[in-house]
């Protein structure tokens, strides 16, 4: 075998190692988040007993996490563009392990919030993970690689809440300890097998004024080729936040589902989403092309939210999930298209700006959807249309479709 062939094999092996590691990192991140979802209210109850206060604090916890991600995403993206992806990602994994242990044994409510702050900061490692994928992707496999990220989200989302519920019966600290152990294992795994993906020639100096998250968003929006695509990305994430905001409230109110039924339905969402991004994206995107697959993905996303708003019986929610599985094509295709519009030394900045935007939607969307749900189901409302949040989400997706048409006509 010639040296060139050997180098080619080494490079292919290195790229596969990165893909596998990024995949496992996101799976474990989502497992860690899912593990603590069933027990987080019980952890809050260690310090507060009134249910209204528990609910309010739970909302603050969600907002705190999203806010920290918003602030940290461009910082981690900029650092990874300078120092490389590997040290930043490994540092985030180690920090997440410490955070979960911190939250498991926090002795006061303020300390619990400190742990949530750390969790949000380290959770912004998605910026670096996306930059890794951009570094090693080619035009041929770009959408498929970003589809793997979506599949990892789905797998983690399937297993996390179920495992967390089981461990929560042992103790309220067990899920946190399990999440810490998983992140530690991945950290050690990365030390030994994860190569650096960003070449020295593609690195750039840190410009601290550019680490401002709002400036990162502004710079991303000022890139002419990205302007409409970033708008589409933001609207799709705003719409997608309807699920974590009101899924439980909506299905309990409309169909009388128990917490077990809600958990099973969310696991099914993760299963369909993961299958779509891991399998369908590999099969269909090369055949259709990224732009056409993006169109189809957005159309099916809007259709899904509209049907969720209108279905009269609970089992139909599962039918909607299955029939609209192509909606999972939208985000990876959009990611793939956007990464082609920027140079290698700006991938971290791009991903940091995108994560900041998605974090902003995670702060704003829950207020929008829970408020509209409360208004629609309130005693004084004449319409009583519980599906209003999903109808709003469908309208937001339609707005993203309009932006896509404008972009495609202009290009």
Is residue 55's pLDDT more than 60?
no
Q: Is residue 260 in some structural domain?
A: yes
Rg of the chain on CA atoms, in Å: 21
Mean pLDDT lowest among 77-91, 224-238, 329-343 = 77-91
d(CA 35, CA 40): 9
* 361-405 pLDDT, tens digit each: 888 887 788 778 877 877 656 567 889 989 999 999 999 999 998
pLDDT band at 7 (very low <50, low <70, confident <90, very high): very low
Q: Is residue 309 in some structural domain?
A: yes
We report the CATH number of the domain holding residue 103 as 1.20.1250.20
HEC sequence for the chain: CCHHHHHHHHHHHHHHHHHHHHHHHHHHHHHHHHHHCCCHHHHHCCCCCCHHHHHHHHHHHHHHHHHHHHHHHHHHHHHHHHHCHHHHHHHHHHHHHHHHHHHHCCCCHHHHHHHHHHHHHHHCCHHHHHHHHHHHCCCCCHHHHHHHHHHHHHHHHHHHHHHHHHHHHHCCCHHHHHHHHHHHHHHHHHHHHCCCCCCHHHCCCCCHHHHCHHHHHHHHHHCCCCHHHHHHHHHHHHHHCHHHHHHHHHHHHHHCCCHHHHHHHHHHHHHHHHHHHHHHHHHHHHHHCHHHHHHHHHHHHHHHHHHHHHCCCCHHHHHHHHHCHHHHHHHHHHHHHHHCCCCHHHHHHHHHHHHHHHHHHHHHHHHHHHHHHHHHHCCCCCCCCCCHHHHHHHHHHHHHHHHHHHHHHHC
Is residue 3's pLDDT more than 70?
no
Is residue 326's pLDDT more than 80?
yes
Q: Is residue 11 in some structural domain?
A: yes
Q: What is the pLDDT of residue 58?
A: 65
Q: Is residue 287 in some structural domain?
A: yes
The residue segments making up the domain with residue 392 are 3-194+211-410
> Of the ranges 27-31, 185-189, 239-243, which is most confident?
239-243
Q: What is the pLDDT of residue 1?
A: 44
* 94-129 pLDDT, tens digit each: 888 888 888 888 888 888 888 878 877 776 566 677
Q: Is residue 205 in some structural domain?
A: no
Is residue 337's pLDDT more than 80?
yes
State the chain's mean pLDDT as an integer.
77
Q: What is the pLDDT of residue 318?
A: 94
Average pLDDT for residues 341-345, to the nearest whole number? 73
* 124-178 pLDDT, tens digit each: 566 677 777 777 777 777 767 777 776 777 677 777 767 776 777 677 788 888 8
Q: Is residue 206 in some structural domain?
A: no
Is residue 42's pLDDT more than 80?
no
Q: Is residue 398 in some structural domain?
A: yes
Percent over 70 (pLDDT), the chain: 79
Q: How many domains would you assign to the chain?
A: 1
Q: Is residue 204 in some structural domain?
A: no
More confident residue, 60 or 106: 106
Tokens of 45: 């109850």
Q: What is the pLDDT of residue 51?
A: 46
* 173-210 pLDDT, tens digit each: 888 888 888 888 888 887 887 766 666 666 667 666 66
């Amino acid at each position: 075998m010639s040296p060139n062939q050997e180098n080619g094999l080494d490079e292919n092996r290195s790229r596969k190692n990165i893909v596998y590691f990024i995949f496992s990192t996101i799976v474990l991140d989502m497992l860690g988040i899912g593990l603590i979802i069933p027990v987080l209210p019980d952890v809050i109850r260690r310090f507060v007993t009134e249910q209204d206060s528990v609910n309010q604090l739970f909302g603050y916890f969600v907002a705190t996490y999203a806010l920290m991600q918003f602030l940290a995403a461009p910082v981690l993206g900029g650092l990874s563009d300078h120092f490389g992806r590997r040290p930043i990602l490994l540092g985030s994994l180690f920090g997440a392990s410490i955070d979960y242990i911190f939250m498991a044994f926090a002795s006061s409510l303020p300390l619990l919030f400190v742990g949530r702050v750390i969790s949000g900061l380290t959770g912004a490692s998605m910026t670096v993970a996306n930059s890794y994928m951009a570094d090693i992707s080619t035009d041929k496999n770009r959408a498929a690689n970003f589809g793997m990220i979506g599949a990892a989200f789905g797998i983690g989302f399937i297993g996390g809440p179920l495992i967390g519920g089981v461990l929560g019966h042992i103790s309220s600290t067990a899920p946190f300890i399990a999440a810490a152990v998983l992140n530690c294992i991945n950290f050690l795994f990365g030390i030994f097998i994860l190569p650096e993906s960003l070449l020295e020639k593609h690195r750039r100096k840190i410009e601290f004024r550019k680490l401002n998250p709002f400036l990162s968003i502004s710079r991303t929006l000022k890139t002419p080729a990205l302007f409409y695509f970033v708008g589409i990305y933001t609207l799709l994430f705003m719409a997608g936040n309807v699920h974590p905001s009101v899924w439980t409230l909506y299905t309990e109110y409309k169909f009388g589902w128990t917490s077990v039924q809600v958990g099973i339905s969310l696991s099914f969402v993760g299963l369909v989403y993961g299958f779509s991004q891991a399998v369908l994206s590999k099969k269909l995107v090369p055949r259709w092309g990224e732009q056409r697959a993006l169109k189809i993905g957005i159309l099916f996303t809007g259709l899904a939210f509209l049907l969720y708003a209108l279905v009269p019986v609970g089992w139909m929610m599962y039918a909607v999930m299955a029939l609209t599985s192509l909606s999972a094509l939208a985000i990876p295709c959009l990611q793939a298209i956007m990464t082609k519009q920027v140079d290698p030394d700006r991938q971290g900045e791009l991903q940091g700006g995108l994560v900041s935007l998605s974090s902003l939607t995670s702060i704003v969307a829950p207020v929008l959807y829970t408020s509209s749900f409360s208004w629609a189901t309130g005693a004084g409302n004449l319409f009583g249309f519980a599906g209003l949040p999903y109808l709003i989400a469908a309208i937001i997706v339609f707005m993203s479709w309009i932006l896509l048409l404008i972009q495609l006509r202009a290009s």
